[in-house]
Structure 1
């Protein structure tokens, strides 16, 4: 807890780093205590220690299949699912289904949900296809969205650029989510990163236009929020806090929270982003009595 707020960081990354592509690992090494982070990626006790030290109540473990760019596949998702089992009241894992690498899109979604997936991640830049590729005939993508819509599973969609090799940044334009929100009106969509650093106006348009689109603030330096989103207060009811830790340039979860709390926003907006909105979208699970119970 920080300043009386139960903080949910909706967007961090726990991957089996030893299985990622070598050039991806080189990017992750920059400015990081790399060896220590590798230990964290395989030991949930270490993550819980960091969360406790930094006052973070819950985290969302973001994972998705992107074999061509990152080297991630179903094994990465299963790693996160096992990792979160140690403290399911504090760790929520997200997974994904790659529409070009599935023969059973709806069934694959069902299996992840049965395992406990809380949100499905789509990464257009790393999966080399737009968020609305179904409009050009990629039926598997539409089936994935349709199944998440039917099951009430939110879909987290990356927007903006990516620094990793082979990433196709042209697919990061948030306007493509406009189609998804129209075509799947009951699907809860989370727009990640606000289209940074090129498409912030497009992101704000989509967020304000569609009641079912939420705003994941991760990957945006907090000090830039007033400049990039001068009317952020209009979105108070749909803001979700995230740090993107330990992505390059993000050295800690608490540091970003402190910077956000120092901004000249209303206390209600800060609590909404850090606590109440994440708890509405992803309700806390009962305490388990295991490693993560308090």
Structure 2
């Protein structure tokens, strides 16, 4: 489809083919018959997501859980190749002894504009003491922190680390830290909604929900009920969903669905989420 006005993808994974490990395809086969397109490199992203005005990209390091081991150099190369399209986020793994040194390098030398963290994938909870320097650094340097909140499929993960409830104490302790809960914490979407409403510095995004129609419809109804659409952002989670899948899935939620048994979501809420601009909200100063 053709978008009516500028739109932004706030959550895109960039990986090179050699960064996929065999366990990734083995695990994905359990939950996604046929798997996913193997390519999520910079050229593929630029082509497949051309409809977006700007795209936030990061290269998570999930080798020992999901089976993809990205690298900061992959993100840097993608941004360098498409500087007007891509905005790079660092990835932080607090298990590494040099994690803060690497984070500072990514922000200060590579000029990445935010940070991505996957507590369930790295097995580090949000209340782990190793996270405190990350929060403090991001707050002091006006760096938004996107965190994977919600479930996943790899068996070597702590699902409870993805509960949105764990975000609340962090938001209270670091009131100037911009926190983004990826995937609206599904299936705990109502929990995510009330935390977004409660905390001025917490935002949500709806990536990874389009292929779960009932949860997606319910999530959008909760966003509508709690009047937080202006704090929720759109994205694809490519390659886990394509542009068409993500947009069509969102637009479909504006129609009545008897099987869902939740209120239809207004066109205003749909448009607000689809066209929200993270570059006007996630930083204290313009990017």
The TM-score, its normalising length taken from structure 2, stands at 0.83
Cα drift, residue 101 of structure 1: 0.8
SS of structure 1 residue aligned to 2:40 = helix
Confirm or deny that 1:110 pairs with 2:104: yes
| C-alpha contact (below 8 Å) 1:9/1:274 kept by paired residues | no
Distance 1:123 1:267, change over 3 A: same
- Equivalent residue, structure 2, for 1:211: 200
Cα drift, residue 125 of structure 1: 0.7
- Equivalent residue, structure 1, for 2:26: 26
Q: 2:218 aligns with which of 210, 213, 227?
A: 227
Cα drift, residue 178 of structure 1: 0.6
- Equivalent residue, structure 1, for 2:281: 281
Cα drift, residue 244 of structure 1: 1.5
Q: 2:49 aligns with which of 37, 51, 56?
A: 51
Cα drift, residue 180 of structure 1: 0.8
- Partners in 2 of 1:156 and 1:150 — Cα distance? 16
SS of structure 1 residue aligned to 2:277 = helix
Q: Which runs of 5+ in 1 are unaligned?
A: 287-294
| C-alpha contact (below 8 Å) 1:157/1:191 kept by paired residues | yes
- Partners in 1 of 2:143 and 2:172 — Cα distance? 17
SS of structure 1 residue aligned to 2:96 = coil
| C-alpha contact (below 8 Å) 1:17/1:25 kept by paired residues | no
Q: CA RMSD in A?
A: 2.6
How many residues align structurally? 268
Cα drift, residue 127 of structure 1: 0.7
- Equivalent residue, structure 2, for 1:290: none
| C-alpha contact (below 8 Å) 1:16/1:76 kept by paired residues | no
| C-alpha contact (below 8 Å) 2:178/2:282 kept by paired residues | no
- The structure with the greater share of residues assigned to helix is 1
Q: Which runs of 5+ in 2 are unaligned?
A: 255-264
Confirm or deny that 1:84 pairs with 2:54: no
- Equivalent residue, structure 1, for 2:262: none
1:4-55 deviations in whole A, cap 9, x for unaligned?
1212111121112422331113345644575xx44x434x333322223xx2
Bigger Cα displacement from structure 2, 152-161 vs 255-264: 255-264
Cα drift, residue 266 of structure 1: 4.2
- Partners in 1 of 2:160 and 2:107 — Cα distance? 30
| C-alpha contact (below 8 Å) 1:239/1:277 kept by paired residues | no
| C-alpha contact (below 8 Å) 1:122/1:131 kept by paired residues | no
Cα drift, residue 72 of structure 1: 5.3
- Equivalent residue, structure 2, for 1:127: 122
Confirm or deny that 1:69 pairs with 2:62: no
- Equivalent residue, structure 2, for 1:101: 96
The TM-score, its normalising length taken from structure 1, stands at 0.81
